[in-house]
């Protein structure tokens, strides 16, 4: 069973169905409703609805592009290894908003970005010497891409004022990194070896 493809198809179908539907509001992450009304399903369901087609397509592209390799890397955990990482990314991505906006009735967020960030960082942690394309153009080592990811997301999260949930990206990425470190602690040495080669 290709769990990555299954997630892409399921997310795509749900997102398309809810794109112009009032049902989307029932799936979104609303911290106030989660904390004060017990609507805990939103912590997971928000990852299956997206703001628009571009939002959906970008997340699903990254998920499929890196998810196949990550799923293979985690195959020693059985068929649940990758879905567990994905779920952890969804939850990890939601935690900052649940803490920060727990008493804000108007805050809402949606999208699989937290889970996708978990997958991306898991890929980078396990394949630090692979080449990634920055802005789809500039080739850079994955290890450098990972450092730039955390630097940029942290900076934008502190700056604020955008419609992008950078805290969700950070939360999901940290969750994904923690998952990899728990099951494959040797990636720490591999990552620093890659950095050392990069700086040599």
- Give the model's pLDDT for residue 200: 64
Express each pLDDT in 42-55 by its tens digit.
999 999 999 888 88
- Give the model's pLDDT for residue 115: 96
- Give the model's pLDDT for residue 135: 66
- Give the model's pLDDT for residue 117: 96
> 49 or 187: which carries more pLDDT confidence?
49
Least confident interval from 60-64, 152-156, 162-166, 178-182: 162-166
- Give the model's pLDDT for residue 78: 85
pTM score above 0.95: no
- What's the pLDDT band for 1 if we cut at 50, 70, 90? low
DSSP string, 166-200: HHHHHHHHHHHHHHHHHH-TTHHHHHHHHHHHHH-
Structure tokens at 113: 């970005």
- Give the model's pLDDT for residue 173: 96
| Structural contact between residues 85 and 25, judged by C-beta atoms closer than 8 angstroms | no
Beta-carbon contacts of 113 under 8 Å, excluding residues fewer than 6 positions away, are: 59, 93, 165, 168, 169, 172
> 186 or 98: which carries more pLDDT confidence?
98
Q: Which residues of 2-38 are buried (b: 16+ CB within 10 A; e: fewer)?
A: ebbeebbeebbebbeebeeeeebeebbbbbbbbeeee
User: What is the CATH number for 43?
Assistant: 1.20.1540.10
- Residues facing residue 131 across a β-bridge: 141
d(CA 71, CA 69): 5
128 lies in which domain range?
3-199
Express each pLDDT in 126-176 by its tens digit.
998 888 877 677 788 888 889 899 999 999 888 877 778 889 999 999 999
Express each pLDDT in 77-133 by its tens digit.
888 889 999 999 999 999 999 999 999 998 999 999 999 999 999 999 999 888 887
- Give the model's pLDDT for residue 35: 95
- Give the model's pLDDT for residue 172: 96
Q: Domains in the chain: how many in total?
A: 1
- Give the model's pLDDT for residue 71: 94
Angle between helices 113-126 and 53-73 (to 10 degrees): 40
């Amino acid at each position: 069973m290709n769990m990555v493809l299954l997630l892409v198809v399921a997310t795509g179908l749900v997102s398309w169905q809810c794109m112009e539907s009032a049902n989307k509001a029932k799936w979104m992450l609303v911290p106030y409703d989660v904390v004060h009304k017990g609507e805990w399903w939103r912590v997971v369901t928000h990852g299956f609805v997206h703001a628009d087609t571009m939002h959906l397509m970008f997340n699903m592209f990254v998920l499929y592009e890196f998810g196949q390799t990550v799923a293979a890397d985690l195959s020693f955990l059985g068929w649940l290894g990758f879905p567990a990482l994905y779920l952890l990314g969804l939850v990890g991505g939601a935690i900052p908003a649940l803490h920060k906006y727990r008493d804000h009735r108007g805050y809402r967020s949606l999208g699989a970005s937290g889970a996708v960030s978990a997958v991306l960082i898991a890929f980078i942690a396990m394949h630090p010497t692979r080449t990634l394309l920055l802005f789809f153009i500039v080739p850079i080592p994955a290890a450098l891409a990972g450092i730039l990811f955390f630097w940029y997301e942290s900076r934008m999260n502190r700056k604020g004022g955008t419609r992008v949930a950078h805290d969700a990206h950070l939360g999901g990425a940290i969750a994904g990194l923690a998952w990899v470190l728990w099951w494959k602690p040797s990636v720490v040495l591999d990552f620093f070896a890659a950095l050392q080669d990069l700086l040599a």
